Amino acid sequence: MTNMRIAIAGVTGRMGKKLIQSLPHIEGIVLGAAFVRPGSIVTGIDVGQVVGEKILGIKLIDNLNTAINDFDVLIDFTNPAATLTYIDFCCKYKKSMVIGTTGFTEYEKKKIFLASENISIVLSPNFSVGINVVIKLLEKITTVMGNYADIEIIESHHRNKRDAPSGTALAMGEAIANIMHWDLNKKAIYNRGIHSGKRLANTIGFATIRAGDIIGEHTAIFADIGERIEITHKASSRITFAHGALKAAIWVNNKKPGIYSMQDVLALSTL
């Protein structure tokens, strides 16, 4: 069986390095190309040298057009502006994508959904198996407690994370809001000031922590008088995100155009 070829964007970043390091542990997939930003000082250097691995025989490139025939699926964990550039390229040459970038504006989200009319895309704020199981569990809890419990979502990440709340926290909120038939934009409370007043019913509160080197922790709380349910997921290594993204790349290859989630990849709809 021929291995499926992937390209990785942002190889010098945290997730880019983990993806390269995880490749030997996932069967049926090989590295075909590795991208860095235009003008990067590491352009032309072997990927393995940059990520601390053995020589891989693939050089880092900053020109997408030189790798048109070298990959089937592009994995992107960069930033919104770069992601849109990669999307335009992949649409032009009919390449599937796995997108783990977060912090998109509504306009940028629309661009991604328009692209999905031409190519298959797995779009997820979190590729770990555990967090996707948690999101499915939140849907179940919401059907029982959503009408009367106070709902809070707390997320913690490292000091350098730019978007807040995290994409995963927002995905958790969306899952709850969808079950309740709410518009999250109208029900989310992102900032409680010193004099915010009494907690409003039928809202979802968000709290954000940015500190040290926390990889990712998310807790959802459903609290009533006398009892509460707390569901927490803690990521101790980015390797779990990398493995999930590589599995998503294998899954999305040759799928018909559309937007897919990690829930689709893991077939969690039957839970």
Q: Are strands 150-157 and 216-224 parallel, antiparallel or unpaired?
A: antiparallel
12 is in an annotated binding site: yes
Candidates 59, 111, 136, 161; catalytic one = 161
15 is in an annotated binding site: yes
Give the number of other CB atoms < 10 A from CB of residue 2. Answer: 6
14 is in an annotated binding site: yes
125 is in an annotated binding site: yes
Measured CA to CA, the distance from residue 182 to residue 178 in angstroms comes to 6
10 is in an annotated binding site: yes
Active site residue 161: yes
Sequence length of the chain is 271
- Judge contact between 240 and 20, C-beta under 8 A: no
257 is in an annotated binding site: no
Structure letter (DSSP) for residue 175: H
Measured CA to CA, the distance from residue 5 to residue 9 in angstroms comes to 14
102 is in an annotated binding site: yes
100 is in an annotated binding site: yes
Please list, residue by residue across 117-148, b when 16 or more beta carbons sit within 10 angstroms of its beta carbon and e when fewer do: eebbbbbbbbbbbebbbbbbbbbebbeebbee
For residue 216, give the nearest of 37, 18, 81 by alpha carbon: 18
Candidates 18, 95, 157, 243; catalytic one = 157
Measured CA to CA, the distance from residue 84 to residue 115 in angstroms comes to 10
11 is in an annotated binding site: yes
Going by the annotation, the residues of the binding site for NADP(+) are 37
Residues placed in the known binding site = 10-15, 37, 100-102, 124-127, 158, 167-168
The binding site for NAD(+) consists of: 10-15, 100-102, 124-127
Residues with active-site annotation: 157, 161
Give binding residues for (S)-2,3,4,5-tetrahydrodipicolinate as ranges.
158, 167-168
